[in-house]
């Protein structure tokens, strides 16, 4: 983590605002680079007069949106039809599962994109299902920008106020992030366990199985 901090700090000091955008773009594409570290650093460098806090927030938001659009594009390139074909070949997964997720995202996608920007891990990956679902680009951009702007403003402001003590943000956020990641892992494992039980039940009672897959 110290290496990441040093690299991000050097990047921001060398090229200023664009360095923030690049760091946040990379944070979106590579979630192991936490924004909880990058954004307070941007606030700290703003407190040193490298740029204003507003500029730091705007550059960070630009990086967030560009990174999100890249992942959205990957999801759009995959598309729902290809995802259904992949689901047919995956053990434990039904095409019906994909369709149900698609229906859910049609109803709740904008809220998921907006609030997902505040959840570690989800913040980046939520862009992929938005692309797969075919969410209108303007809708995706609007909710992504709004959520990212709030998140970036909060942590840049905290870093600006803390100055040289910006590292305190990581100390407080790290346990929270670990809890969130643990909950995500538990949810994934629980889903896999449920799918495995479903598959076993179908093997025991094949006559009761109704194939809900669509061509």
**pLDDT over 90 at 191, yes or no:** no
What six digits make up the tokens of 152? 């970036």
Higher pLDDT, 167 or 121: 121
Mean pLDDT in residue range 147-160? 91
Domain assignments of the chain as residue spans, ordered by start = 2-208
Q: What is the pLDDT of residues 82-131, one digit of tens each?
A: 888 877 777 666 677 677 777 888 888 899 999 988 887 778 788 888 99
Question: What is the CA 144 to chain-centroid distance, rounded?
Answer: 10
Q: What is the pLDDT of residues 174-185, one digit of tens each?
A: 665 666 667 767
Higher pLDDT, 160 or 143: 143
**pLDDT over 70 at 73, yes or no:** yes
Query: What does the chain come to in residues?
Result: 215
pLDDT value at residue 213: 44
* Strand, coil or helix: 63: helix
Distance set, CA 157 to CA 54, 69, 149 (Å): 9, 25, 12
Q: What whole-number distance in Å separates Cα of residue 107 and Cα of residue 40?
A: 34
Indicate the average pLDDT of the chain: 79
With left for phi above 0 and alpha for psi between -120 and 50, is residue 136 left, alpha or beta? beta
Mean pLDDT in residue range 35-52? 83
Percentage of the chain with pLDDT > 70? 75
Opening angle at CA 141, ends 155 and 105, nearest 5? 100
């Amino acid at each position: 983590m110290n290496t990441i901090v040093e690299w991000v700090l050097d990047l921001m000091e060398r090229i200023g605002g664009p360095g923030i955008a690049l760091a946040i773009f990379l944070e979106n594409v590579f979630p192991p680079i936490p924004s909880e570290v990058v954004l307070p650093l941007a606030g700290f460098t703003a407190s040193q007069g490298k740029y204003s806090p507003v500029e730091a927030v705007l550059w960070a938001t630009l990086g967030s949106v560009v990174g999100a659009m890249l992942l959205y594009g990957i999801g759009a390139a995959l598309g729902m039809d290809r995802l259904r074909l992949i689901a047919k070949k995956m053990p434990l997964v039904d095409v019906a599962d994909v369709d149900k997720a698609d229906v859910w995202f049609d109803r709740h996608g904008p809220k998921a994109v907006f609030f997902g920007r505040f959840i570690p891990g989800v913040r980046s990956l939520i862009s992929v299902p938005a692309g797969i679902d075919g969410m209108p680009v303007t809708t995706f951009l609007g909710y992504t920008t709004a959520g990212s702007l709030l998140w970036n403003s909060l942590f840049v402001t905290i870093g600006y106020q803390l100055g040289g003590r910006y590292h305190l943000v990581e100390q407080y956020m790290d346990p929270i992030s670990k809890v969130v990641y643990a909950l995500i892992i538990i949810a994934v494992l629980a889903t896999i366990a449920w799918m495995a039980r479903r598959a076993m039940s179908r093997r025991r009672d094949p006559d009761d199985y109704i194939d809900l897959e669509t061509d």
